[in-house]
């Protein structure tokens, strides 16, 4: 597939069937790996797309990629990773957009849909330590410095050990690992899914189970978005959808939506299907780890969205309005213990 970059967006005339099928993506190594995985699956399902010029990968810079010296909380949320792609899609500069689902807000722009999730990778977090003698979070000494841009991870880390110092740690995977090697931090956490997609999972010290670190909503899932009236795109990506993955992701996103969650709110949520039944776990916490509330649910796969929504509503009612008032007071600034490093 040909690749082109874009930082400015233009309106295009509607594509004809002979026009290239254009895949929109961010330019990070992980995003490109996901775009090429989508390309590979499209060609497997539709051999005509293997012809020269039939597929085009369009690389775009997002605001979230360009501003790395501030936390996502300060910048306003993960929509910063999707806004430019949304605009390109609506302006018909691309036909589909490939996303890490955990970066996608629970709302989608009008006239767009996200009907496809590829088969999900391992959802867990990887723990990576700079000191070879440290094998787990529990092995880290008091006052250890841990690199993470995620309030979800920070809250769960500080709930385990309030002496930890969490520093804003952004950039692509390679940049973060280089900072770890340079001794900027003592350890970091990354999604094992991203490491696997780049054949870098060997750098993980350990993979954390849910009891150690509950993953982010939709972690490990790739989503594909298109315009709601684009029959060609709907047909192509509809054939790639993995129903079990989509059911789990829909459950998790319904949970997040019920809590009005964003990057200013430490929320985790995971669904899995076991013996034909959907099992869900979720939590919400204060950024400093001082309060952490959990919930769980189980039921039919067909009730996935309803299950996630009810779990979110139940947890929201249980923590009460005061919890969210405290969250609003804390969110404009970095949580206690968190500092920023470039």
pLDDT at 66 over 60: no
Average pLDDT over residues 126-132: 93
pLDDT at 136: 94
Q: Is 5 helix (H, G, I), strand (E, B) or coil?
A: strand
pLDDT at 152: 94
Average pLDDT over residues 72-80: 50
What are the start-end ranges of the H helices in the chain? 29-45, 63-66, 72-75, 83-90, 151-160, 173-181, 192-197, 231-238, 243-258, 304-330
Average pLDDT over residues 24-46: 95
User: Burial code of 15-47, b = ≥16 C-beta within 10 A, e = fewer?
Assistant: beeeebbbbbbbbbebbbbbbbbbbebbbeebe
Average pLDDT over residues 102-131: 95
pLDDT at 4 over 90: no
- Look over the chain and give the mean of its residue pLDDT values, rounded to a whole number: 87
Average pLDDT over residues 180-197: 93
pLDDT at 116: 98
Judged by average pLDDT, the poorest of 3-12, 54-63, 252-261, 283-292 is: 3-12
Summarize pLDDT for 217-265 with one digit per residue, the tens. Answer: 999 999 999 999 999 999 999 999 999 999 999 999 999 999 976 667 8
Tokens of 342: 């470039």
**Quick one: DSSP state of residue 54?**
S
Backbone angles phi, psi at 215, to 5 degrees: -70, 170
- Indicate which residues carry an active-site annotation: 103
Q: Is 212 helix (H, G, I), strand (E, B) or coil?
A: coil
As beta bridge partners, residue 280 has 271, 297
Beta pairing, strands 165-168 & 145-147: parallel
pLDDT at 331: 58
pLDDT at 61: 72
Average pLDDT over residues 176-186: 90
Q: Is 246 helix (H, G, I), strand (E, B) or coil?
A: helix
Spatial separation of the C-alpha atoms in residues 154 and 131, rounded to whole Å = 20
């Amino acid at each position: 597939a040909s690749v082109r970059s874009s930082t400015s967006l233009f309106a295009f005339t509607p594509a004809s069937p002979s026009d290239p099928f254009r895949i929109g993506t961010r330019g990070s190594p992980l995003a490109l790996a996901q775009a090429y995985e989508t390309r590979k699956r499209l060609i497997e399902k539709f051999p005509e797309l293997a012809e020269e010029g039939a597929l085009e990968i369009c690389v775009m810079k997002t605001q979230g990629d360009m501003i790395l010296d501030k936390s996502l909380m300060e910048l306003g949320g993960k929509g910063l990773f999707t806004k430019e792609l949304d605009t390109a899609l609506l302006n018909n500069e691309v036909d589909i957009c490939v996303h890490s689902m955990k970066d996608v807000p629970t709302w989608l722009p009008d006239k767009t849909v996200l009907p496809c999730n590829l088969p999900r990778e391992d959802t867990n977090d990887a723990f990576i330590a700079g000191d070879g003698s440290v094998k787990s979070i529990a092995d880290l000494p008091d006052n250890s410095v841990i690199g993470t841009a995620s309030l979800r991870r920070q809250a769960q880390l500080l709930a385990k050990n309030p002496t930890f110092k969490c520093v804003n740690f952004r950039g692509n995977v390679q940049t973060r690992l280089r900072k770890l090697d340079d001794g900027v931090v003592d350890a970091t956490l990354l999604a094992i899914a991203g490491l696997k997609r780049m054949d870098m999972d060997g750098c993980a010290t350990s993979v954390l189970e849910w009891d150690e670190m509950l993953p982010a909503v939709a972690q490990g899932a790739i989503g594909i978005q298109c315009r709601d009236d684009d029959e060609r795109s709907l047909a192509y990506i509809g054939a790639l959808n993995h129903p079990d993955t989509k059911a789990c992701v829909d459950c998790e996103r319904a949970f997040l939506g019920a809590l009005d969650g964003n990057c200013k709110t430490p929320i985790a949520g995971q669904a899995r299907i076991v013996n034909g039944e959907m099992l869900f776990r979720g939590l919400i916490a204060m950024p400093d780890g001082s309060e952490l509330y959990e919930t769980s649910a189980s039921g039919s796969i067909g009730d996935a969205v309803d299950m996630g929504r009810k779990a979110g509503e139940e947890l929201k009612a249980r923590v009460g309005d005061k919890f969210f008032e405290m969250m609003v007071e804390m969110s404009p600034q970095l949580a206690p213990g968190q500092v920023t490093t470039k």
